[in-house]
A and B are shown apart, each in its own frame.
Chain A
């Protein structure tokens, strides 16, 4: 039997939260930015609420990332070089750069709330931030799949799922904010987008699940595999989809978003823990 000889990195539950918060922050910014740029009259009031929320989420995420280092005071050592072949280096640079236009967009959004409006500057910050926000979302899955750890090394669609999921989560958060501040037209459009994205997200999730099927087979009994699969698909897709389709009322929107976030966290937690629970 070819037993694995790798050592599991000291990445535990923190990284599952990091992966979720990364998706929540980058996804909210991108969903807000794309919607605002495509239909400013409808989405600007929602977007200016979304950017500060995305900044708070990103700050929490960065706090988790830094605290998970062996020597957190050396975080800035990541910025001494740029190394395209290192997903962590790509991610660190994307996150660092992304934080600047996001901060600008959030700050200018808050200023606009008190009547000081620099709309052109905010739009510019959003445009500059979009590619780096996208990079910040896209690196995470590649970081997890480009290594020697059992399970992760086979997860070819980890990146595809996480990036796709980030946009879905961002759309869900934007939908929730829109419903909270009572923007009916934005809410209606985002609800439709949310349903479409939920359906699309089943493709990379299914492919990721298929990638990891041999790993699941080794880690879990047949019954547990079913439970994990049902839990993942039900919490992250079927229940939110059912709630969103059933009604556009506020409680159903809240329920759909909560289930999506819970399901997304479960998926991240299960997959982040694979090397630590592997019996392969």
Chain B
């Protein structure tokens, strides 16, 4: 079809008052929530990542994210440094050369092979099932969409940064341009059109898998068993199941060293586990003071 033949739609020009009213009313409008769909996510097998950064490029390209400039970080081949409001995929490079034995490195749960190696991992939002960012968000901008992915509605976010403070993985960042928080959408727009996320599509080694979570978990468990059979006993899954202090992640990883080696928290903790107790202490502190004031006033008023 010719472009000119497509129906053109644009907002009518508005006056200042009309613009102001629209701005005030708009966030209170509610649309129909979409029907729930099977939960999807990422399973990232770090053992086959080659650090090509195709995922980073594909993410930037599809989501039209601006360049962050270029600096030599001095950290291996990682010049991206971290996830940010404009970098939603980040390939980490961990060099383990001449660091001594696993015992000397302080390895706890897994036995690390003592030969020199280079670990690579494509990091992204974990799309937590019980996401602290989602719990913290006071505007309702952060939602679980119909695919159970954690999604920021950019037109609602007001940049309060509660999500930034809440995320134990340091994923969400407030942008200097516009002042709103941004992170991986798990290519919501592509999923709605039946496509896989750009990063998974671009990954040449199938390190990044996308699909329904049940299938991903089965695939990941089979891979761990296979690695164990092939002499990689340290392989394990990070975030595929809930722990005592954190929910399962809808973007989980196959790792071969401690989480902290990859820049992940060893024991992620959901801050909301403390919230009720903190409220109780807060109210108790206030009531104690009011009670004391009241007693003094009543005793001394006559």
- Residues on A lying within 8 angstroms of B by beta carbon are 1-11, 30-31, 34-35, 38-39, 42-43, 69-78, 80-81, 83, 85-89, 92, 134, 137-139, 141-143, 145-149, 152-153, 156-164, 166-168, 171, 188-189, 192-193, 196-197, 200-201, 204, 275
What is the 8 Å Cβ interface bit string for chain B, positions 253-280, against chain A (1 contact, 0 not)?
0000000100111100101101101110
Question: Does the CB pair A188–B279 fall under 8 Å?
Answer: no
Query: In the docked arrangement, what's the CA distance between A189 and B294, Å?
Result: 11
Q: Distance (Å) between the CB of B283 and the closest chain A CB?
A: 6
**Measuring CB to CB, which residues of chain B are less than 8 angstroms from any residue of chain A?**
23-24, 27-28, 132, 135-141, 156-162, 164-170, 172-175, 178-181, 260, 263-266, 269, 271-272, 274-275, 277-279, 281-286, 288-290, 292-294, 296-298, 300-301
Q: Which of B158, B162, B179, B278 has the most CB of A within 10 A?
A: B278
With a cutoff of 8 Å between Cβ atoms, the chain A residues found around residue B172 in the complex are 7
Contacts of B181 in A (CB 8 A): 70
Please tell me if the beta carbons of B286 and A137 are within 8 angstroms of each other in the complex.
Answer: yes
The docked-state distance in angstroms from the alpha carbon of A158 to that of B279 is 10
- On whether the beta carbons of A7 and B265 are closer than 8 Å, the reply is no
CB of A76 within 8 A of CB of B27, answer yes
**Contact across chains for A164 and B158 when beta carbons are under 8 A apart:** no
A77's contact among B156, B161, B170, by CB below 8 Å, is which?
Answer: B156
Give the shortest distance, in Å, between A261 (CB) and chain B (any CB): 16
| CA gap between A43 and B294 in the complex, in Å | 12
Nearest opposing residue in chain B for A78, CB measure: B138
Q: How far is the CB of A142 from chain B (nearest CB, A)?
A: 5
| Contacting pair B260 A2 (CB below 8 A) | yes
Residues of A within 8 A of B160 (CB): 69-70, 78, 88
Chain B residues whose CB sits within 8 angstroms of the CB of A138 once the complex forms:
279, 282-283, 286
Residue among B135, B178, B266, B285 facing the most chain A CB atoms (10 A cut-off): B285
Residue of B nearest to A159 (CB): B282
Give complex CA distance A250, B237 in Å.
67
Contact A10 B164 (CB under 8 A): yes
Say yes or no: A141 contacts B138, CB within 8 Å. no
Nearest B-chain residue to A163, judged by Cβ:
B286
Chain A residues with CB below 8 A from B135, complex form: 85-86
Q: Closest residue to A31 on the B side, CB-wise? A: B293
Give every chain A residue within 8 A of B28 (Cβ-Cβ): 80
Partner pick for B275 among A3, A85, A157, A193, CB 8 A cutoff: A85
A200 to B288, CA, bound (A): 8
Task: Give the residue name and chain of the B residue nearest to A75 (CB).
Answer: B158
Known: A134-B283, A153-B269. 13 other contacts (CB 8 A): A3-B260, A7-B172, A39-B297, A70-B160, A71-B157, A86-B162, A145-B271, A147-B166, A148-B132, A163-B285, A164-B289, A200-B289, A200-B292
Q: Within the complex, which residue of A43, A89, A152, A163 is in contact with B138, where a contact is CB–CB below 8 Å?
A: A89
- What's the nearest-Cβ distance from chain B to residue A163, in Å? 4
A148 and B281: CB pair below 8 A? no
CA distance A204 to B282 in the complex (A): 10
Given known contacts A71-B179, A156-B278, A162-B282, is B139 in contact with A81 (CB within 8 Å)? yes
A5 & B263 in contact (Cβ 8 Å cutoff): yes
Instruction: For the complex, give the distance between the alpha carbons of A7 and B175 in Å.
Output: 13
**Chain B contacts for A5, CB-based, 8 A:** 168-170, 263-265
Sorted nearest first, the 7 A-B pairs with minimum C-beta distance are A70-B159, A70-B179, A159-B282, A160-B285, A167-B289, A74-B158, A163-B286
Establish whether residues B178 and A164, one from each chain, have CB atoms under 8 Å apart when the complex forms: no
Bound complex: CA A199 to CA B28 (Å): 47
Instruction: For the complex, give the distance between the alpha carbons of A95 and B27 in Å.
Output: 20
Evaluate contact between A156 and B138: CB separation under 8 angstroms: no
Q: Which residues of A contact B174 (CB under 8 A)?
A: 9-10, 70
The residues of A that contact B284 with a CB separation of less than 8 Å are 160
Indicate which residue in B159, B285, B292 contacts A204 across the interface (CB closer than 8 Å).
B285
Min CB distance, B95 to chain A, in Å? 16
Shortest B300–chain A CB gap in Å is 5
Q: Which residues of A contact B283 (CB under 8 A)?
A: 134, 138, 163
Chain A nearest CB from B64 CB (Å) reads: 20
Instruction: Report the nearest A residue to B176, measured CB to CB.
Output: A70
Instruction: State in angstroms the CA–CA spacing of A72 and B180 once bound together.
Output: 10
Given known contacts A77-B139, A86-B162, A166 and B286 CB-to-CB distance under 8 angstroms: yes
Contact A6 B168 (CB under 8 A): yes
In the complex, the chain A residue whose C-beta lies closest to that of B259 is A2
Give Cα distance in the complex from A148 to B298, angstroms: 43
Question: Which of B23, B24, B168, B264 has its CB near the most chain A CB atoms (within 10 A)?
Answer: B168
Q: Are A39 and B168 in contact (CB under 8 A)?
A: no
Complex Cα distance, B282 from A216, in Å, reads: 22
Are B179 and A38 closer than 8 Å at their CB atoms?
A: no
- Contact present for B289 and A197 (CB under 8 Å): yes
CA distance A131 to B66 in the complex (A): 47
| A112, chain B: closest CB distance, angstroms | 21
Q: Are B272 and A34 closer than 8 Å at their CB atoms?
A: no
> Which residue, of A3, A85, A137, A164, has the highest number of chain B Cβ atoms within 10 A?
A164
Q: Which residues of chain B come closer than 8 Å to A148, judged between CB atoms?
A: 132, 165-168, 269, 271
